[in-house]
Structure 1
Amino acid sequence: MPAPLHARRAAGKRAGTMSQPLIIAVPKGRILAEALPLLAAAGIQPEAAFSDENSRALRFATDDPEIELIRVRAFDVATFVAHGAAQLGIVGSDVLAEFGYSELYAPVDLGIGHCRISVAEPADMAASDDPRGWSHVRVATKYPHITSAYFAKRGVQAECVKLNGAMELAPTLGLAPRIVDLVSSGRTLSENGLVEVEVIAHVTSRLVVNRAAMKTRGRVVPLVEGIRRAVAERAA
C-alpha cells in the first residue's frame, strides 16, 4: 500500500528525487465507480484515502509513484486537462461537445457512463405537443452550446436559461417550459412530472489527453494504450 501523498512528497523532496507525476483527473459520482476497474486493469490503484468517504482530500497517490489522481466535478475534468493542470482525464462526451476544447484529444471510448442528452417537458404538455411544429423554444439547461446548435440545425430558435443543477424545477416554477439534461433511467424526470420528447445525443465516457502532454510526457502514450487494452479485454 503506498504511503500517503503528503508523506511521499516530503520524502521525495528530502531525497531530491521528486519529479512531476502524471495527473489523471477523474469525475465524482457514478462514472467514477465504473472507471475504477478499468484503471485497476491498467495498473493504477489509488491509495486507501481515495475510498474514505470522510476524506476531504482531492489529490491522491497511486501504487505507481509517477501517477496521481485528482477527483473533481465532471464538468471540470475537461478544463483541468485542457489547460494542462492534469495530463489525462475521464469525462463524458457531453462535456467534450459542450466545451469543444481544441487542446483535448479523446483517443479511447471507455464504454461506460451510458446516458443521453434529451429534451423533456411536463407530461401534460407532451400529451398534445408536436416537436415538429416548434419554431421557438425556451429551455433550461447546463448545455447551452449543444442545445443551441441542435435546434439551429432544425431551424428552431432556442432561448437557453443556464442552470447548473435542479433542472427539473424549471418547468414547475415557470423558469422555462422545457429542459435539456442528461437522462439515464428517466426516474428523476418521472418523479418530477416530466417526460422525454426528443433525444439530442447518446453519451459515453471518454479518456481524454492534453495534446501537448501527449507529445512531451513519455508515460502518456503507454498509459493510454494500457487503458485501451483494459477496455478491449472487458468487452471481449
Structure 2
Amino acid sequence: MGEMLKVAMPKGRIYKQAFKLFREAGISIPEETDDSRRLMISFPEAGMEFILAKPVDVPTYVEYGVADLGVVGKDVLMEENRDVYELLDLGIARCRMSVIASPEWKPVLNPRVATKYPNVASAYFREKGQQVEIIKLNGSIELAPLIGLGDRIVDMVETGQTLRENGLVEQEEIFQITSRLIANRVSYRMKNAEIQKLCDMLQQSIVIES
C-alpha cells in the first residue's frame, strides 16, 4: 500500500453523488460521512484522504499539488482553466451551461451579460462574433435581468425550475456539464499505480449518458 491519495472534493451537491459513486465502485467509504462538517476526512482503509473545498478551489488545490486528485464540475474546469490532467468523466451532477434571458429580450448593441463564469461567457460570445460587456457576479445570477443589470445571463441550469420561477427562458445551450476526476501532473507520474487502480474501479460504476 503506497501513501494516501489526497482528493479535493467539492462541498455541496457533487459531494453526495461522488461518494455514492465511490462506494458503488467498491471503495470503502462509510455512509455517515455524507453530512460531515469537517474540512478533511481520512479513510485509511481506502487509502484516501479527502479535502473538502469550495468547488471553484478544487482545480487550484490540484494544480498546486496539495491534492493529488480532485472531483470537479466541467463548468469550473472550463472557467478556471488550470494546468491539470482530466482523467475521467464521472457522469454525475449532470446539468448544462446556458445563455438565459427574459422572454422580451431583444438584441441590442454591446449588451451586458451577467455571470459567475466570465471566461466561459467571453469565449462563447467571442466565438459567435458578438461584442458583449461581461459583468461578474458571485450569486443569484437570475436577479440580473430582473433588476436591469444585464440583458442576459450565462449560468448553469439543472432542472430550469429557478428560471421558470423568475420568468426567464433558456436561449442557447453552451455545453453539457458533468463532474470530472482530475489529477495533479506530478502526482499522476509519481503515484500512477494508485491513481490508475482508482480510475479502473470507478470506470466500472460510471454511467455515461450519450
What's the TM-score, normalizing by structure 1? 0.80
Question: Which residue of structure 1 lines up, in the alignment, with residue 205 of structure 2?
Answer: 230
| Alpha carbons 1:170, 1:176 under 8 Å: kept | yes
Larger CA Rg, structure 1 vs 2: 1
Give the one of 81, 88, 94 matched to 2:75: 94
Offset from partner CA, 1:155-197 (integer Å, 9 cap, x none): 1012111112110111122221211000011001111121111
Give the one of 53, 57, 60 matched to 1:79: 60
Amino acid at match of 2:102: P
- Pairs within 5 Å for 1:1-236: 21-47=4-30, 50-51=33-34, 53=35, 55-64=36-45, 66-102=47-83, 104-123=84-103, 125-126=104-105, 129=106, 136-217=110-191, 218-231=193-206
SS in 2 for 1:214: helix
Structure with greater contact order relative to length (CA < 8 Å, sep ≥ 6): 2
Offset from partner CA, 1:29-71 (integer Å, 9 cap, x none): 22222212221133333356623x4x53111022526311122
How many residues align? The count is: 207
Deviation for aligned residue 1:98: 1.1
- The whole-number CA distance in structure 2 between the counterparts of 1:47 and 1:225 is 21
What's the TM-score, normalizing by structure 2? 0.89
- The whole-number CA distance in structure 2 between the counterparts of 1:30 and 1:226 is 22
**Runs of 5+ unmatched residues, structure 2:** none
**Runs of 5+ unmatched residues, structure 1:** 1-18
